[in-house]
Amino acid sequence: MAQIQESPSEKCLDTASLELANPDESKTVEHPDETLIQFNGPEDMRDPKNWTLVHKWCIVGLLSSMALTANFAILICAPVVPDILDEFNSTNQFDATILVSIWNLGGVLGPLFVGPLSEIYGRLPVYNLFNIVFIVFCAGAALSKNIRMLIAFRFFNGLTLASSTLNSSIVADLFVTEQRGRVQSIMTVMPLIGPIAGPIVGGYLAGAEGWRWTFWLPAIMVTVVEIGFATIYRETYEPTILRREARQQRRKTGKGVHHSRYDHTDTPIASISRAMLRPLKVFTLPIFLLLSTCTSLIYGYIYLTVTTITEVFNERYSFSEGAAGLSFLGVGLGMAVGVFLCGATLDWYTNRMKAVHDGEIKPEWRLPPMALGGIIVPTGLFMYGWTAQMHVEWMAPIIGTAFLGFGLVVITIPVTTYLTDAFGIYRASAIAAMTVYRNVVSTVLPLAGPPMFRAIGLGWGNTILGLVALMTVPAPFLLLRFGEQLRKRSKIEKRLK
């Protein structure tokens, strides 16, 4: 702790030090009071950024595994929806669609609790609690007695998915800005691959063991990963670590003078209320709305595609139930290529620009890959829609979906990394808000898509979607030119306190 002087009566927080426009929480602020609890540079092992690479990458591995297994459950039942409807004697097409997409409706509400609670109590207790409840609801889905019960448990699974909100925030807790891009790229692909691998496994698993095992398997997988998580993970959120140590020092010394710059100065109820409102305040920021609209739109297209692709390949290409699951491989391959590109360029470009600008780091330097994604996504939609419409060789529409998967990744990863860089200690609220927005769009579009395709066909339907996607192309160029000025005018840190 720094050896400094200050009147004991001055216990107000040093909120001016929270420079969220270009934050670096690993840096401590010199303060004239030896009772201030803070990290003390690169040798202080209390700071998660100073933990060993082995420990940090073990945590990243667990986070990736949790994201993979949790998101694996999202679409594992997609290929077997007809079997589920047959068992429950339902012929309602709305049941078939909502059974898959209701997960995202639960995901609209869950992040509004997960993000703010993690900023009050820390990442560790919130992550563990939500994972355990998630497992319970997976088991409930497997034991469902009717279609309404199954839909309800699917909703609660989406509600209790913590990894989509907290994983990127924990990576930012562990790694300095210049190292986050590659880690985010590696980790972000897991929740994207999960929904692709799920239908492939689900098609064959249901054929061998019945559709209920498409819910038992995720429950077992998440249980195994949660055991590892509970064993290895330690708290990484800097404010929680320092607040906890300040409390321990106050108990140890019997004096109330030890404090951190993150201590709450108001009542617990007021702190909770302010935190719970924070994701909603994020929606008032123009930069957030622009980037989240781009990301959410592409996510909605992915969900629309994966919820209809089984029917397309069953009816137009006479694929079997198991083979229809393989039609998702195109999206997965495209995602893998996108991850490689982002992993190779994000940190490289940031470090290059840092050298040119005398050590300054700007969040906008994460965004150049978005421009490529804005062009590739419409290309993929045009190709998928028209080749499927014209019954071209089955490989052609799969290539189109590969373009779509690639575009999703090279838009999503830069935006996620931008938000974690730009929002500092409030990054979980920013990611939560984006997840809410994304899940709303991902719920609505799959409901609107099938009627549109029936009315005008796959070709023209995907053409309309592609033309809308073209509107995202200017976003990265606008923010590279004007983003810094917008951040300063938005006064992010003052709005989100």
Per-residue pLDDT of the chain (497 residues; tens, 9 = 90+): 333 333 333 333 333 333 333 334 434 444 445 677 788 888 888 899 999 999 999 999 999 998 888 878 887 887 888 888 888 888 777 788 788 778 878 888 999 999 999 988 999 999 999 999 999 999 999 999 999 999 999 999 999 989 888 998 999 999 988 888 888 888 876 766 776 778 888 888 888 888 899 999 999 999 999 999 889 999 999 999 988 888 888 888 877 777 788 776 777 888 888 888 888 888 888 889 999 999 999 988 887 887 778 778 877 777 766 666 677 778 888 988 988 888 888 888 888 888 888 888 888 888 888 989 989 999 999 999 999 888 888 888 889 999 999 999 999 989 998 998 888 888 889 999 998 998 888 878 877 888 888 889 889 999 999 999 998 899 989 988 888 888 877 666 555 66
Task: State the DSSP code for 36.
Answer: B
The pLDDT value recorded for residue 351 is 85
Q: What is the largest CA-CA distance in the chain?
A: 78
Q: What is the dihedral of CA 112, 110, 75, 407, to 10 degrees?
A: 10
The pLDDT value recorded for residue 19 is 38
Burial 302-312 (b: 16+ CB within 10 A, else e): bbbbbbbbbeb
The pLDDT value recorded for residue 407 is 92
pTM of the model: 0.80
Please name the helix (run of DSSP H) or strand (run of DSSP E) that holds residue 117, with its range, or none.
Answer: helix 93-121
The pLDDT value recorded for residue 7 is 34
Q: Is 342 exposed, middle or buried (0-12, 13-18, 19+ CB in 10 A)?
A: buried
DSSP per residue, 444-474: HHHHHHHHHHHHHHHHHHHHHHHHHHGGGTH
Contact (Cβ atoms closer than 8 angstroms) between residue 160 and residue 134: yes
Cβ partners under 8 Å of residue 414, min gap 6: 342, 346, 366, 367, 368, 369, 370, 476
Place of tokens 């209809």: 308
The pLDDT value recorded for residue 247 is 84
Long-range pairs, 300-303, Cβ under 8 A, ≥24 = 300/438, 300/441, 300/442, 300/444, 300/445, 300/446, 301/377, 301/381, 301/404, 301/408, 301/445, 301/465, 301/469, 302/195, 302/331, 302/404, 302/405, 302/408, 302/442, 303/101, 303/104, 303/442, 303/445, 303/446
Task: State the DSSP code for 21.
Answer: T
**Nearest to residue 493, comparing CAs of 238, 281, 291, 289?**
281
Contact (Cβ atoms closer than 8 angstroms) between residue 491 and residue 287: no
How far apart, in whole angstroms, are the C-alpha atoms of residue 218 and residue 461? 34
Cα–Cα distances (Å) from 148 to 89, 107, 113, 295, 488, in that order, read 12, 18, 25, 31, 48
Tokens of 39: 């990290």
The pLDDT value recorded for residue 379 is 93
Cα–Cα distances (Å) from 238 to 32, 51, 59, 299, 337, in that order, read 21, 13, 16, 31, 34
